[in-house]
Structure 1
């Protein structure tokens, strides 16, 4: 009897494991259009249907909000497109020239895309750099909402300079 019960239990477990599953996000911001902020309140973030905000703090509270710094390399079109989400069909929101410094805050699962934060003043030579607020730890993972711009770029065109 015990062997039969064990066999039935294993069969149920195997059937459940092979069935189609639904991926569940471990945080509110990725599973809906809501995000947390440092004050602990939840607020709605207005984004397009295909936009994916850049996340900061993925290394945890003991690491900088964005753990790496990169420099834009040469792109075939002359400037690197910054997109609203980590895929080719996403909306182009900006472009970056070769040599532009960026903070690398997150990566796509396939490592093909970097979620970046960057300062792009009108005149790079005449302006002092802006503190984007990602060079120190944050309490929890969250969408970037600081003073600088953010978006997604192809990782192939960014060279790691510090990390």
Structure 2
């Protein structure tokens, strides 16, 4: 009887010790006013209709805001289109050259599109995009670098 009670107490203690979680807020309203918001923006400025902002912090507060690095590769065209949303018919926002490095921050549900953050080609060595350290909660990326959506086929993972 005593062994049974001891075993039940041990199981209960073990289960409670393993249940520790880190809660990550996905509340856009609260996350945009987060103290780690580098630009202090509290509303979206300059977004186009149909635009889907790139989200950072998807991995939680213990990981970098963007968890991977990639390089543009294997293009069929001279440049890779950066779109405002993860859809074939989304409006073009920018273009990247082969070899250009990007931060991989999020993915579409079908894994076909990557939400990326990247420095303008002329500033790749001088600008810090602010995504190589953790953020407190998930939120839309709001600068200082550019962001958008690209086909995952043309990004080779170089660090993750």
Query: TM range, normalised to the smaller chain?
Result: 0.7 to 0.9
2:44 counterpart residue number? 45
Distance change >3 Å, CA 92–CA 35, structure 1 → 2? farther
Does the Cα contact within 8 Å between 1:82 and 1:96 map onto a contact in 2?
yes
Could you tell me which runs of 5 or more consecutive residues in structure 1 were left unpaired when the two chains were aligned.
1-25
**1:147 aligned residue:** 144
Unaligned runs of 5+ residues in structure 2 are 1-24
Distance 1:135 1:35 in 2: 18
**TM-aligned CA distance change 1:87 to 1:35, over 3 Å:** farther
Name the SS for the 1:156 alignment partner.
helix
The SS at the match of 1:44 is coil
Check the 8 A contact 1:67/1:104 in 2, yes or no: yes
Bigger relative contact order, structure 1 or 2 (CA pairs below 8 A, ≥6 apart): 2
Alignment: residue pair count? 132
CA RMSD, Structure 1 to Structure 2 (Å) = 2.3
In the other structure, the counterpart of 1:83 is: 83
Compute the displacement of 1:28 (Å). 4.1
Residues 114 and 152 of structure 1 are in contact (CA less than 8 Å); yes or no, is this contact kept in structure 2? yes
Distance 1:129 1:100 in 2: 14
TM-score scaled to structure 1, two decimals?
0.73
Q: 1:136 aligns with which of 133, 136, 158?
A: 133
